[in-house]
Every structure is written in structure tokens, then in C-alpha cells.
Structure 1
Amino acid sequence: MSKQSDEGVTLPEGFTGSSFFRHILEEAMQRYPNDFKDIKLPSRKDFKKSYGETVVRFEAARVNSKLRSEIAKYMVRRTQDQLQYKSPIFTGPFTQYMAGNSKPSPLETIDLGESEGFKPEVPFRGQRYEGARLKDLAELMLQEHQITKAAAKAITWISREALNDDGCINLKGQKFVILGASAELAPTAMLLKAGASVLWVDIQDCKSFVDRHKGLSGTLYFGEKARNILLEPQTIGSTIEAFADGEPVHIGMFAYAAGASQEWRLTATMNGIVRSLEPSIVGSVSMLVSPTSPAVMQPEDLDRAKTMHRSPPAWQGVLKTLGLLNLENQFEKEGLPVARAIVPLQGVGYQAAQYISKTLAAEVFATQGVSLDGDAKPLRVSANVAGITKTRSLQHPVFQAAFLGAKTFGVEIFEVQTTQALSGLLLLYDLLNQDHKVQDDPQQLFAEQVHGGIYSRAFALDPMIRIATVMGLAQKPRLLLKILS
């Protein structure tokens, strides 16, 4: 992906990811002063140091407001309206650029054959759970406080649905667009195993992806001029419409790239691409939300966290007495608790992407629909929390050390294959279960959480990670050399 930025989608002139995030928060506070009257925004100089607690309290104020979805729409709109696009033939507002016309990229296809259906299974701790055993996995993870009741219900539903159809799920005839199709946690392989027609949008070559994965079926589409999300958003939009050919398509937004606020620019651009489409062709929108975001905790996790805080394990009690672990893992305002799960090391731009262009954007899609103007036409949305996972983006030695120490706090760090599988099952539930509707209660949109225990622990995540890192370094001292080098 292009860096910030010579060409393509950029932040407004003069802004960094940090300052633009603060700017959007400030605009919302000015627009809705009564809802945010208790929020004190740090100065521009101090924002990076203390943004975590600020964003948690901001979200607590928003979700407890009667105008929560209106505020979300305002913040998403203000982000989209201020992005810029630069190229040799156009420089100006991103929304203006996306309103223009572009020829779709010619599409090539790879026919992967007929599908026997996708057989749902999840690898976890050396075992493979499939069929009726998926219910056992859901019950195990719920018992260990790693997932919410809503997530357990979804996994159990999928196991029943598959058993009703010879143990398989078939998506033949359904169209999917995957923005960031090669991303480690994208559901691309699962969809193709289920026989779907998939439009590949990614700078990585889809042919090497096909070579690496066995058992694919359905049809894979790709356009050579519709691959780079930051550079070619207009062409990607027109190519999606050509691929849809008047039929509804499911759009997944999974692109990721670190550095230079790319994560935020990518997520905001993917939102802009979807919002530029003819609303009638957008059947659903899906994405994954990071667990290190200010999520509203579910009642079962809140109860567990409060119990743990009152009676922590002895060694955690000592750290609590010493003041090393004293901040509770949630901030409560009028009954809706928001998790203190932000990890500052991941960067302000990363958090801005997760909060504004995922959490808030998902709520807007679910309550308002594709267009930010006119009457609401709610969309089917899948926006579930995925657990902390050993992806390439978390190969930093600090995170590696923290992963080693996390088990002492009862936090599960998932393998990529496990998160892929669990997230895929939740996605299928959200799209296939016609009784699953969230537009009347936006809080239910985020109820399916695979958090691995970070929302059910006693203490805020960041200080917990710091202590886990020290524990991990004690177990594996050579990681310290990597940190210092």
C-alpha cells in the first residue's frame, strides 16, 4: 500500500493520524456538547500520552446517549468529508473523487470447480472441533470466559445448520467482494471452499493464494486495475458494480497495512468505496473489530470481571496493593460498561481506524445503510470482535513477550487458523441466519465477541500487558535483546 503520502487517499493537509483523530473527537464534542459534557479532551501535545482513557470515556458517553447512532454517523461523515485524494489528474476531496466515473477493470476468472460444501471446523489447542463438537467448543470457551453468550449461540447455530445439510454449508450462487482478500484473517478461503463467487481485491497476487490453498471451489474473479485500495478506489468501486451486475453482493473489508496511518486510511477508504456504490447492490457488509478497542462489555463478562476484581488471585492482589494493577477493566456510565482494552503501543492511527472506521462505521451501516443521506435503509452487518492472534503484524518482541506472560492472567492468544475459523463461523451466522437482526438495537451488533478473556479479567489491559511482558521476558530472556537492538 502507498505510504502517507505522495498519491492516493491521504489525511487532510497538516494532520497526522493522532491529530486528525483528536480533531474528529473534538468536532463531535462541539456538535453534541450535552452528550460529552463530562469529557475532557487532552491538549494536542498530550493527546498521544493519554488518548486511551479518553476514548474509553468518550465511547461510554456515546453509547449511553439517545443519539448514539446519530453521533456515529456524524463522526463517520466528518472523517469521509475531510479525506483527500491525490493523483496526477486529480487533487481534492476524496468524496468528490469518488463521485466521478471510472471504467471498471476487465475481470479475469479462475474456475475452481464444483463445491461439495464447506465443512465447519475449528482447530483449538491441538484438537479439531467439527459437526456436533462445535457446540462443545462453544461451551468450553464460554465456561472459560473467552467468548460471550452471543458468540457461543452463533457457533452452536452453525453446527446445527451444517448438520442439517450433510455437515456442510454451500454458498454456490452467492457473490462476495473481499477488500484485502489476502489478509491473514480474511474469510476468502472459507468462502471459496463453500463454492461462492469471490471478487479478489488486493495488491497480492490471487494465483499464488490459489496455489497455497487446497480444496477451493467456486469462482475467483480479479481485475488487474482494481487491486490497490488507496490508489484505485474509484476503479474498484466501478469494478464491484460490474461484478454485481445488478445483484446484491456481500462486501468484506479486511485490508490491513501498518505505518503512516495506513490502517486508518485503508479502513476509511474501504468505507468510502462501499458508500459510493448503488445501495441496492450491497447485500451486507462485514469486518473484524480488534479486541483492543473500547468495546461495550456483555453482562456475563462484566459479572466475571467484577468478581475477579473483588477477589483476585493472591499474586494479583499483591500487585493491586502495590498500585501496579489498580485500574478496573471497565469504565461504567449509566449501566453500559466499556472495556479498558486499548493498547497504546499499537498506535493512535490504529485505534482511530478501529474506533471510527470500524466500530462507528459498522453501527452506521446497520442503522442508516449505505448512504449517509436520506431515509434509513439498514444493512445486514457482521462486525465481531476477534481475539488477540499471533498474526504477522504482532511479531514485535514486546508482543511476543506479552503473549508468553498472558496465560498467567488467563488470557488466550489464538493461532491464526483458530481465529480464521471462529471469525468465519460468526460471519456465516450473521449472514445466513435470517432471524439475526440488529438494526433496532445497535448494541446487539457487537455482542458476538471472541475476546480470549481480556474483557473478563479484573484489570485494564495495558498495565496487565506490561506485567505480562516482564513475565514473558523472564521466560525467554533473548527477547530482551531483540527489544534493545
Structure 2
Amino acid sequence: MVEPSVREAVATVMANPGWLRLDGRTVAVLGAGAEMGPLRALLRWGATVAAVDLPRPGLWERVLDAGRAGAGRLLVPARDDRRVTPDPAHLGADLTTDVPAIAEWLSGLDGRLVLGNYVYADGADNVRVSVAVDDLTTRLLAGREDTALAFLATPTDVFAVPGDAVAQSVRAYEGRSRGARLVGRPLRAVSAGRLLRRAYAPGSDPGINDSLVAQQGPNYALAKRLQRWRATSARAAGGLVSLNVAPPTRTRSVVKNRALAAAYVGAHRFGVEVFEPATSNVLMAALLVHDLHTGGGPRHDHPWQDEAYAAAHGGLWRAAYAPRSALGLAAVLGYGAARS
């Protein structure tokens, strides 16, 4: 499930297939090997992509394969520029230590630059690399004011959501089955109201959706919040910004957490759809293309409305129950399904 504006944005891109090449732009994909990144889709569509990721030969073999299979142009940072053919063993850069060199390289690329932040690391390293990317961002904006910024917001965060999403959630809660009501009452009683709560007070506009997942930890939440702040401040300064809420997705970083993986298996029972990485990649790349060709999408009066536009939250905003009040039960049901 996604916001209706996702359909509108994708339909606009489909009506303008020539947009997919992103002519005249170079998209710098920070975290080129990320499962949720747009690198493969953009290269298939004929775009020019500058890939940045850690110096790990296996990772760069996959990135180079994507470049060879695509119709686009792949630019890579080589530590030995005397080689005619890129060698995975000599590619890559560490954002936590090489920001000045990366900034110099990206500043010299042709075309209007798009700086796409798709980095991820475990634990405190996630905050470190996010701060490094923010440093890189300020350096590039100082030298190239027309640099566009691109981000993927996590659906497992806190957002203000539009009134029609609240109304759908309220209808779903009030229209739940007799069996759901019978089960819900004792669960709410024994949990002191923490389980299976309604998501919003009826009539809220906007509503506040709290989908934070404790298992992802404070470092993850802080890193993603840094990106949202940069997107908001850059847009307020008149910059071109693409920030779209990505759907819950079965990435490696998610499924290695057993509790979160189980919750994703059971999520459909509570109106939440979990996407496969291949689907999420193409969808979010298409929304990026839309934003770059439409000035970042429609301008709204408030930052929360910009974030809500084209949000592919997978149903977290419109489900009957507050997500955190159903996550534990989804995990229990997911464990049971996995055993079966």
C-alpha cells in the first residue's frame, strides 16, 4: 500500500519515458552496493552514474557487472588511474576518511550533479558515515549550488500523515471483524493498552504515525533523522531535493535481525505489505526520476507535507492499528509461519 500520489508520480514518468535517461545529469550514488539504492535501475535506463562505496573487491565486481549489463555510463573512483580496465581491487573510497578526495572528484564531473545518499552501516558506524555524507554535501553545495540532493526515508520512523490516511485507518479500526474485536480486548487489557491500539484519534489532520522499531536501535534512527533534516533545510533554501519514504523491504540488513524478519513475515495480517528489494529499487528509482524532472515534486506549505508526498510506506500509515502496538504480535505470528 502506498499514498495515491505515488501512482500519480509513476504514471507521469511512464508517460515520459525519455526522462529515464536523466540527460544532462550525473547521479552520484553514495552506497553504490546498497540493496535499496537506484544504481542498477538507473544504469538500465541509460543514466550516467558515479558510484561511491567502500574499497571491497566483491562489492565492486557486482557494481561493474551492473555497469556492463546496463545502457548507461558508470563512473568509478580508482585508486590507480593508470589502469585502462577497472580492477575491483583498486576501486572504492571510504566516506569516513576520504571526504575531501571524493568531493574533489565529484566536483569535477560533467553535467548537473545529483548527490544520492544510500549509505548504511551497522551500529554507531551508521551515524559516522551519515555525518561524513553531510560534510560532503555541504562541500559540494558550496562549490556547485545547483547540486540536487536525493534520499530514501525509512518507513520505520515518525511522520505526520495526511487526514485521508487517518480517515482510512479509523475506518479500518472501526470496521474490524468480530473475531479481531474479541481477541483485541483481552490483549489490550493484559498489556495495559499497549497492544492493538487504534493508530490515530478520529479526525486528526495531520495524524502522527509512530513506526519506530526499537530493534533497529538509536543509531539507525539518528542517522535517518540527519538525512531528513538535511533534506528539509536544503529544500527551504530553494534547492532541488528528492526525499521519498521507501516501503518496508526484505533487505539483508533487515532479515539478519530475527525479530524484525519475523515481524515482516507476519506484517500482512495487520495490513502492512513488505516489498522485495527488486520491486523497491525500481519504484524508488522511478520516484527519483520524477522528482528530478519536476523540481522535487509539488511544493507544499509545510515540510511534513513534502515528506508525505509519494510516500510508499507499505500500509504503515493507513493500517487499523498503531504499528508499534502490532509489531510484537506480527513477530510471534511470523515465527510460527517460519516454523511451519
What are the within-5 Å matches in structure 2 for residues 43-82 of structure 1? none
Task: Tell me which residue corresponds to 1:147.
Answer: 2
What are the within-5 Å matches in structure 2 for residues 210-359 of structure 1? 210-211=64-65, 215-225=69-79, 227-244=93-110, 247-259=111-123, 261-277=124-140, 278-322=142-186, 323=188, 324=191, 325-330=195-200, 335-355=205-225, 357-359=226-228
CA distance in 1, matches of 2:68, 2:181: 49
Q: Is 2:40–2:66's contact at 8 Å kept on the other side of the alignment?
A: no
Counterpart secondary structure, 1:302: helix
Task: Give the length in aligned residue pairs.
Answer: 316
Task: Tell me which residue corresponds to 1:160.
Answer: 15
Following superposition, the deviation at residue 330 of structure 1 comes to: 4.1
CA distance in 2, matches of 1:242, 1:459: 50
CA distance in 2, matches of 1:335, 1:420: 31
Q: Is 2:160–2:207's contact at 8 Å kept on the other side of the alignment?
A: yes
What is the identity, as a one-letter code, of the residue corresponding to 2:248?
I
Following superposition, the deviation at residue 152 of structure 1 comes to: 1.5
Identity %: 23
Counterpart secondary structure, 2:49: strand
Call closer, same or farther: CA 1:306–1:475 in 2, change over 3 Å. Answer: same
Q: Any idea what the Cα deviations from partners look like across 1:270-310, whole Å, max 9, x if unmatched?
A: 11111112353543100100001101212322111111222
Task: Tell me which residue corresponds to 2:63.
Answer: 209
CA distance in 2, matches of 1:327, 1:266: 36
CA distance in 2, matches of 1:404, 1:329: 21
Q: Is 2:198–2:320's contact at 8 Å kept on the other side of the alignment?
A: yes
Q: Is 1:388–1:413's contact at 8 Å kept on the other side of the alignment?
A: yes
Call closer, same or farther: CA 1:150–1:271 in 2, change over 3 Å. Answer: same
Moved over 6 A (4+): 331-334
Task: Tell me which residue corresponds to 2:25.
Answer: 174
CA distance in 2, matches of 1:172, 1:267: 28
Question: Does the alignment pair 1:462 with 2:324?
Answer: yes
Q: Is 1:411–1:453's contact at 8 Å kept on the other side of the alignment?
A: yes
What is the identity, as a one-letter code, of the residue corresponding to 1:266?
V
Q: Is 1:148–1:298's contact at 8 Å kept on the other side of the alignment?
A: no
Q: Is 1:381–1:445's contact at 8 Å kept on the other side of the alignment?
A: no
What is the identity, as a one-letter code, of the residue corresponding to 1:360?
W
What is the identity, as a one-letter code, of the residue corresponding to 1:352?
L
Q: Gapped runs of 5+ residues in structure 2? A: 80-91
From the CA coordinates, give the structure whose radius of gyration is larger.
Answer: 1
CA distance in 1, matches of 2:220, 2:295: 33
What are the within-5 Å matches in structure 2 for residues 94-105 of structure 1? none
CA distance in 1, matches of 2:203, 2:97: 42
Q: Is 2:158–2:212's contact at 8 Å kept on the other side of the alignment?
A: yes
What is the identity, as a one-letter code, of the residue corresponding to 1:180?
G
| More off after superposition, 415-424 vs 432-441 | 432-441
Call closer, same or farther: CA 1:319–1:229 in 2, change over 3 Å. Answer: farther
- Higher-RCO chain (CA-CA 8 Å, sequence separation at least 6): 2
Call closer, same or farther: CA 1:409–1:333 in 2, change over 3 Å. Answer: closer
Task: Tell me which residue corresponds to 2:248.
Answer: 388
Question: Does the alignment pair 1:197 with 2:48?
Answer: yes
Counterpart secondary structure, 2:29: strand
Counterpart secondary structure, 1:347: helix
Across the aligned residues of Structure 1 and Structure 2, the Cα RMSD in angstroms comes to 2.4
Following superposition, the deviation at residue 439 of structure 1 comes to: 6.6
What are the within-5 Å matches in structure 2 for residues 415-426 of structure 1? 415-426=276-287
TM-score by length of 1: 0.61
CA distance in 2, matches of 1:435, 1:235: 28
CA distance in 2, matches of 1:228, 1:175: 20
Call closer, same or farther: CA 1:280–1:262 in 2, change over 3 Å. Answer: same
TM-score by length of 2: 0.85
Task: Tell me which residue corresponds to 2:339.
Answer: 477
